[in-house]
Amino acid sequence: VLQRPEGWNVDQVLPILYNAMFFLLKSEDMSIRDAAASYVSDLISHVSEQDAESFQVLIMNTVVSGIRQGLRSNQEFARHESVSLLSHLVRTYPSHPRFSDMVPLTHKDPEADFFENIRHIQLHRRTRALRRLATSLAEGSLGPYCTTTFLLPLASQVVFTRQTNVEQNLVAEAINVIGAAAQRLKWSSYCFLLRHYLRQLPKRKDIQKTLIRVVVAILDAFHFDLTGARPLDEGEAGGSEHRGLLTDGGTSTEEGAGQFLSATDAVGTTETQEGERLATNEGKGNGGAPGEG
């Protein structure tokens, strides 16, 4: 279809793309996955960023949505295929605002390329990739979209699926990534991330010690300015039993007691949407990190 001289349109390509993404993420047959990956990669190369409708429907709504699903999958092959597609997207659309932040993670040398190393068979290469990712997050070179949509789910799957003794270094670096990411999140995203892992503690007793380390890393990454916050007294609460914190404007947080709100970075519509993206991972896979929705 893509090679037709008369060209193609979205209606012709979309059913084939859905089929290819399904086999890419679900099939255990390597030859089928390779054929599907080849088709999706060719399609990405044929879709122009300037064609707004095709780009939105085929790339953002279908390919990126499939990548997000694959990164949260329990199947390692699905995660690896998703990373490979994500790498191709970053290289094909380096100036697009959704992918430009991740361009520094790519490299001409495969041994220095994050996307190659994170799916490498050798554990020390994966460990090195996560260490590099944590450094990039700490430097603030990665934006909130790519962090919550792609990188946090990727690191979280390491926490939930890698628990053998030889993989402890890998798990430790994944925890560092989550902590570094939390350091850069706005309030609602940070809150959703913390609550997600707190909810996993009683559910995943087999990895409870690891989850406690994750929670500690997130708490250590608390970076909100509370100097302008003041306690909520009984009069202002209207007799309510809640005891939370108020911003200078006197607006309480959603759940009252135990909630905190930055005095200079109040929760708004954008932050709420980021929080919802983080919440979409609830109940999926092995309880992987929340991702963008």
pLDDT exceeds cutoff 80 at 114: yes
- Provide mean pLDDT across the span 242-267: 30
The pLDDT assigned to 166 comes to 76
Give the 3-state secondary structure of residue 86. Answer: helix
List pLDDT tens digits, range 256-280: 323 222 222 333 333 444 444 444 4
What single DSSP character describes residue 131? H
Cα 214 to Cα 199: distance, rounded to the nearest angstrom: 12
Phi, psi torsion values for 231, nearest 5 degrees = -65, 150
Mean pLDDT of all residues in the chain?
A: 79
First to last CA, the chain: 31
pTM: 0.74
- In sequence order, what DSSP letters do the residues of 156-203 get, joined into one string? HHHHHH--SGGGHHHHHHHHHHHHHHHTT--HHHHHHHHHHHHHHHHH
**Considering only CA atoms, which of 188, 174, 184 is closest in space to residue 288?**
174
Cα 114 to Cα 126: distance, rounded to the nearest angstrom: 9
List pLDDT tens digits, range 40-54: 999 998 888 778 888
pLDDT exceeds cutoff 80 at 153: yes
Give the 3-state secondary structure of residue 246. Answer: strand
pLDDT exceeds cutoff 70 at 184: yes
Give the model's confidence band at 283: pLDDT under 50 very low, under 70 low, under 90 confident, else very high: very low
pLDDT exceeds cutoff 60 at 15: yes
The pLDDT assigned to 6 comes to 52
Least confident of 58-62, 80-84, 277-281: 277-281
pLDDT exceeds cutoff 70 at 105: yes
List pLDDT tens digits, range 225-241: 888 777 766 555 444 44
Least confident of 2-16, 101-115, 123-137, 154-168: 2-16
For residues 209 and 242, the model is more confident at 209
Taking residue 172's Cβ as centre, other Cβ atoms within 10 Å add up to: 15
List pLDDT tens digits, range 65-78: 999 999 999 889 99
pLDDT exceeds cutoff 70 at 218: yes
